[in-house]
């Protein structure tokens, strides 16, 4: 067809519609580890310090904050309860002694470590010979890549093994616990979010301090002479000063130098280097990220946090820091249990009042008929008393109106 025909000719008839089948769309969702490796491939963070799991845990504030949350939650009793006729009672389950070579404490602590650093925790299911679930085994998030089929919303977990092969898991064989998520499929990684912020700045400050010490910038003094001299003479004077003045063996001795040398002390205070201010800023930033009081990870101030406010601090930690993490774990583990059963963390020991207040509350509950003597003693981890040794309830005395 010529150009004129295409311009002035009659338009071609529209093509006949062709029946098209909808193809299921599948996309690969990058895990937090894949995103981190991509950023590392493109370039280092703005601070220039590489940010990974080991380097971040090398920061004392991060190590303390992560261990505080992971260890604190792991100490809480993890129990399975069953609701029946409005009564909740504890029932035995595989969570009491999980398979996989980990104790219950280690399982919870490892799961939280993955969540606090990577934003995702992956638990592979372990089955016994009868085909029943007997435990879960944590898999490091760096070894997992998530694939999502949008047509069914099904997720496939590709796990990279040490021999270079991969193994596929589904939601039937893998439990995925995620942190704050922007798409509902994978959690956001604190390692990625704070790589150019709090984590990167803290690592860059540590590297700067190391280079300062390693480069010898913190010299003790500067020596100058009035006359001019060549490099060899200056080197000889320096070696003589180091030999006669520097070092512990020369402490208290009198040094004799047959040259007119002027010694100028060279000192740089921590305030001038702003190390203290930088450290305080880093601790505050890291404490803000993980939602823990800065005083619990090493930031001391003039006002002590111990005393009357310690109970309020524990309550705030349990409510605003621990519960969001434990709720995620509880709801995911409850999906692995039979109906009418759920997993829950017991906060009673963490939020228990002081012994005197607790005893007074138990006495009032027993007198009001809310608890029996056996139940009250069970709360205190004591065996029930025999019937003959149980104290008799005292009748309230009538007020005496006689004057």
Task: Please determine, for residue 43, whether its predicted confidence score (pLDDT) is greater than 50.
Answer: no
Please tell me the number of Cα atoms within 13 Å of 337 on its side-chain side: 23
Whether residue 399 is predicted with pLDDT greater than 60 in this model: the reply is no
- Sheet of strand 144-149: strand arrangement: 26-29, 144-149, 154-160, 166-169
In degrees and rounded to multiples of 5, residue 168 shows phi and psi of -95, 135
How many percent of the chain have pLDDT more than 70? 71
- pLDDT, residue 119, reads 94
Instruction: Give pLDDT, residue 326.
Output: 96
Q: Does residue 368 have a pLDDT over 70? A: yes
Residue 302: its pLDDT value, please? 47
Q: Nearest Cα to 30, choosing from 136, 222, 158?
A: 158
Task: Give all strands of the β-sheet with 78-84 in edge-to-edge order.
Answer: 87-91, 78-84, 341-345
Q: Percentage of the chain with pLDDT > 90? A: 29
Mean pLDDT within 3-12? 41
Least confident range of 70-79, 166-175, 251-260, 390-399 = 390-399
* Chain segment 267-307, per-residue pLDDT in tens: 666 555 566 677 788 888 889 999 998 888 877 664 555 55
Question: Could you tell me which of 284, 207, 215, 278 has the C-alpha nearest to residue 45?
Answer: 207
pLDDT classification of 100: cutoffs 50, 70, 90: confident
Q: Is the pLDDT of residue 113 over 90?
A: yes
Gap between the Cα atoms of 294 and 43, Å rounded: 32
Distance from C-alpha of 92 to C-alpha of 284, rounded to nearest angstrom: 42
Nearest C-alpha neighbor of 222 from the set 169, 161, 275, 265: 265
């Amino acid at each position: 067809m010529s150009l004129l025909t295409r311009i002035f000719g009659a338009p071609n008839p529209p093509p006949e519609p062709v029946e098209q089948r909808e193809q299921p769309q599948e996309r690969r969702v990058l895990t937090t580890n894949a995103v981190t490796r991509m950023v590392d491939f493109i370039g280092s963070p703005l601070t220039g310090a590489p940010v990974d799991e080991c380097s971040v845990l090398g920061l004392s504030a991060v190590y303390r904050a992560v261990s505080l949350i992971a260890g604190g939650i792991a100490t809480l009793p993890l129990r399975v309860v069953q609701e029946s006729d409005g009564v909740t009672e504890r029932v035995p389950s595989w969570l009491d002694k999980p398979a996989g070579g980990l104790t219950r404490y280690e399982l919870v602590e490892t799961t939280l470590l993955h969540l606090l650093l990577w934003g995702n925790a992956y638990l592979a299911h372990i089955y016994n010979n009868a085909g029943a679930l007997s435990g879960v085994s944590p898999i490091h998030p760096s070894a997992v890549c998530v694939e999502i089929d949008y047509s069914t919303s099904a997720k496939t977990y590709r796990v990279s093994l040490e021999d270079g092969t991969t193994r596929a898991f589904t939601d039937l064989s893998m439990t995925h616990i995620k942190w704050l998520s922007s798409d509902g499929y994978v959690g956001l990684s604190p390692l990625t979010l704070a790589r150019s912020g709090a984590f990167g700045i803290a690592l860059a400050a540590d590297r700067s301090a190391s280079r300062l010490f390693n480069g010898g910038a913190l010299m003790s003094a500067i020596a100058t002479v009035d006359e001019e001299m060549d490099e060899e003479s200056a080197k000889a004077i320096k070696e003589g000063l180091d030999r006669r003045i520097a070092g512990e063996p020369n402490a208290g001795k009198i040094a004799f130098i047959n040259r007119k040398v002027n010694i100028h002390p060279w000192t740089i205070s921590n305030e001038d280097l702003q190390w203290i201010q930088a450290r305080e800023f880093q601790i505050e930033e890291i404490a803000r990220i993980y939602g823990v009081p800065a005083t619990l990870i090493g930031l001391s101030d003039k006002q002590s946090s111990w005393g009357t406010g310690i109970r309020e601090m524990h309550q705030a930690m349990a409510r605003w820091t621990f519960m969001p993490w434990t709720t995620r774990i509880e709801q995911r583990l409850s999906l692995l249990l039979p109906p009418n059963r759920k997993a829950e963390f017991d906060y009673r020991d963490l939020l228990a009042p002081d012994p005197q207040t607790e005893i007074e509350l138990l006495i009032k509950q027993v007198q009001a008929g809310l608890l029996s003597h056996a139940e009250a003693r069970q709360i205190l981890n004591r065996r029930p008393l025999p019937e003959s040794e149980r104290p008799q309830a005292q009748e309230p005395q009538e007020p005496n109106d006689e004057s």
